[in-house]
Amino acid sequence: MAVSVLEIFKIGVGPSSSHTLGPWEAATRFRNSIIYPNLTRKAGAVIVDLYGSLAHTGKGHGTDFAILMGLSGYHAASIEQSLLSNILSGYKGLNEIIIEGTHLQFSVDTHINLWKGQHLPFHSNGMVFKLLNTEGHLIQEETYYSVGGGFVQSKEEIRHASSVLDTSIISSAKSITDAHRASGKSLIEIILEHESQFHTYEEIKIQLLEIYGVMLSCAHDGCHTLGILPGGLFVERRAKLKHDKLLPGSSYTNAREWLKEIRSRPYNFRQTIDWVSCFAISVNEQNAAFGKVVTAPTNGAAGVIPAILLYIQTLLEVDTTEEDIVHFLLIAGLVGQMYKHGATISAAAGGCQAEIGVSSSMAAAGLVGTLGGTLEQVFMAAEIAMEHHLGLTCDPVNGLVQIPCIERNSIGAMKAITAAQLAMDSDPMKAKVSLDQVIKSMWETAQDMNEKYRETSLGGLAINVTLPEC
Ligand code: SF4
């Protein structure tokens, strides 16, 4: 089954791709599936049942808000931040949705059921949407699964996907390496040849530069916003505090001028590390505050790839063109797709190794590609970055994408830099572990991981760190 590497990046809204964007998309699909004559058969209400990890951490991840938005016909990729913030401030008081002129009862407090400890078959993040008539009888029912990275599948789609063998050339590092050695084509040429079945190069460039633009705005906004993050943990934003220490007395009027200003100054080792942290943290503070972010490959891990892109653009002695940004994202996207198809990018299925581990691996590969490493070094960097995230659990405190998530993006970015430097200084022919082996190991580790550590907030930091909820 051929897939585009561009699919791994989605413009959306925080704080979670699987618990916010996925349910938003599922609610949109349900809204669109309600067709004549069901709406006219005395349709009266919508009920949503959430299972597995969604039932445990959906509240902290904004799942209720996302479902309301999807049922109401809003789109995560295009909604204006001001409208989103406006609805967010009063959505708990809303008690109906309107579909094609029909008013249906729906309140996030009374029409969403959290079935904690219960699972649907196929995937932990199951959702059942029900349309009831005015007497409470079922008219229509649809089941969806949020399978990570904002992707949603029905039961039939999951069954179909698992029965189709992925024979695409991009399905493994080995098949790409073999193709490269047989044809002499570069990694970018191989990716573009694969992508040509979906889009022209111009379309790819437009899409990826738009993705980059959202990443840049997100980091810029995060570096210029102070305050307390929502959700009740009273986590104070740190990116701006760090930023202002690193760039005192600066003057610029937009994000691109900001980058130039950062680049114009010298930094010591500690300050360089601080900048990488600052970029990563800024994006994930925006994510935690329901800001507009790019899933890369998820929202919880959205800060790693922008941090490395901005590191290249501001802190390395490398002049980047639009082409370089496009190539970085193509390579990172390729590696993300390998994990999606060979393992998982869902924390509910594989813990944080599937989020921060994958984003770090993607970023390491993109960094080596930009620095002129060989195809083998690109895959070696991706392998090293994941090798040292294997087994990383997901245990968000109070079910919010804040602790440990925000700092973890900074650590994932630093590991990506270390992995890239190790690979650039190594002979990949002497490597003992391949990227394909590490992806397989990540998936097997995911399957052995206790559910407590797969985005349920039932173990680890989530139970040992007790902080008051407001
Ligand atoms: S701990 Fe990791 S996987 Fe879990 S919500 Fe946070 S960033 Fe995502």
So what's the pLDDT on residue 468?
62
Q: What does CATH list as the number for 17-161?
A: 3.30.1330.90
CA 88, 94, 98, 104 torsion-angle sign: positive
Name the DSSP class of 394.
Answer: B
Q: How confident is the model at residue 168 (pLDDT cuts 50, 70, 90)?
A: confident
The answer, yes or no, to whether the previous bond of 248 is cis (omega within 30 of 0) is no
> By C-alpha distance, which of 33, 69, 74, 243 is closest to 156?
33
Q: Which tokens hold the place of 316? A: 């390395």
Taking only the tens place, the pLDDT of each residue in 396-441 is 999 999 999 999 999 999 999 999 999 999 999 999 999 999 999 9
Q: Which atom of ligand 1 is nearest to the CA of 392?
A: 2
* 412 alpha carbon – ligand 1 mean position (Å): 12
What integer pLDDT is reported at residue 59 of this predicted model?
A: 81
Q: Where are the alpha helices (DSSP H) in 36-94?
A: 52-57, 63-71, 81-88
At 235 the pLDDT is 97
Give the number of the atom of ligand 1 that is nearest the alpha carbon of residue 455. 4
Give pLDDT, residue 35.
Answer: 75
pLDDT at residue 470, rounded to an integer: 47
Q: Is the peptide bond before 15 cis (omega within 30 degrees of 0)?
A: yes
Distance between CA 457 and CA 437 in Å, rounded? 29
Structural contact between residues 384 and 419, judged by C-beta atoms closer than 8 angstroms: yes
pLDDT band at 3 (very low <50, low <70, confident <90, very high): confident
Q: CB of 99 within 8 A of CB of 31?
A: yes
pLDDT digits (tens, 9 = 90+) for 28-84: 999 999 876 777 778 899 999 999 999 999 888 999 999 999 999 999 999 998 999
Q: What is the pLDDT of residue 393?
A: 98
Q: Supply the pTM of this predicted model.
A: 0.94
Nearest atom, ligand 1, residue 355 CA: 3
Query: If you average pLDDT over every residue of the chain, what do you get?
Result: 94
pLDDT tens digits along 103-147: 999 999 999 999 999 999 888 899 999 999 999 999 999 999 999
361 vs 147: CA distance, rounded Å: 20
* Residue 36: predicted pLDDT: 66
351 Cβ partners below 8 Å, 6+ apart? 391, 392, 393, 394, 446, 449, 453, 454, 455
| Surface-to-core class of residue 283, CB atoms within 10 Å of its CB (0-12 exposed, 13-18 middle, 19+ buried) | buried
Measured CA distances, 336 to 3, 6, 81, 82 (Å): 12, 10, 27, 31
> What number is the average pLDDT over the span 200-204?
97
What's the pLDDT score for residue 105? 97
- Residue listed under structure tokens 């808000």: 65
Sign, CA dihedral 15-16-19-20, equals positive
The Cα 302–Cα 285 span in angstroms is 10
Q: How far apart are CA 401 and CA 234, in angstroms?
A: 13
Judge whether residue 164 has pLDDT over 60. Answer: no
Q: For residues 303-332, b (16+ Cβ closer than 10 Å) or e, as one string?
A: bbbbbbbbbbbbbeeeebeeebbbbbbbbb
Distance CA 277, CA 284 (A): 11
Contact 46, 139 (CB under 8 A): no
Per-residue pLDDT tens for 352-375?
A: 999 999 999 999 999 999 999 999
User: Could you tell me which of 239, 330, 423, 277 has the C-alpha nearest to residue 5?
Assistant: 330
Confidence of residue 1 (pLDDT cuts 50, 70, 90): low
- Domain limits of the chain? 17-161, 166-464
Residues with CB under 6 A from ligand 1: 300-301, 347, 352, 355-356, 394, 396, 401, 404-405, 408, 455
Compute the distance between CA of residue 99 and CA of residue 94 in angstroms, rounded to an integer: 15
Name the closest-CA residue to atom 2, ligand 1. Answer: 352
405, 406, 445, 463, best to mutate for ligand 1 pocket (most atoms within 8 Å of CB): 405
pLDDT tens, residue by residue, 281-309 = 999 999 999 999 999 999 999 999 999 99
Sequence letter at residue 129? F
Kindly report the protein residue whose alpha carbon is nearest to atom 8 of ligand 1.
300
The tens digit of pLDDT for each residue in 171-191 reads 899 999 999 999 999 999 999
Centroid of ligand 1 to alpha carbon of 405 (angstroms): 5
Element (H, E) at 282: helix 269-288
For 451, the 3-state DSSP assignment is: helix
What does the pLDDT average to over 345-358?
Answer: 97
- Of 19, 61, 394, the residue with max ligand 1 atoms within 8 A of its CB, to mutate for a pocket test, comes to 394
Q: Which atom from ligand 1 is nearest to the alpha carbon of 347?
A: 3
Protein residue with its CA nearest to atom 4 in ligand 1: 394
Residue 27 in 3-state DSSP? helix
Residue nearest to atom 1 of ligand 1 (CA): 394
- Return d(Cα 346, Cα 353) in angstroms, integer: 9
Question: Rounded CA gap, 450 and 432, in Å?
Answer: 29
| pLDDT tens string 225-243 | 999 999 999 999 999 999 9
Q: Tell me: the pLDDT tens digits for 9-34?
A: 999 999 999 999 999 999 999 999 98
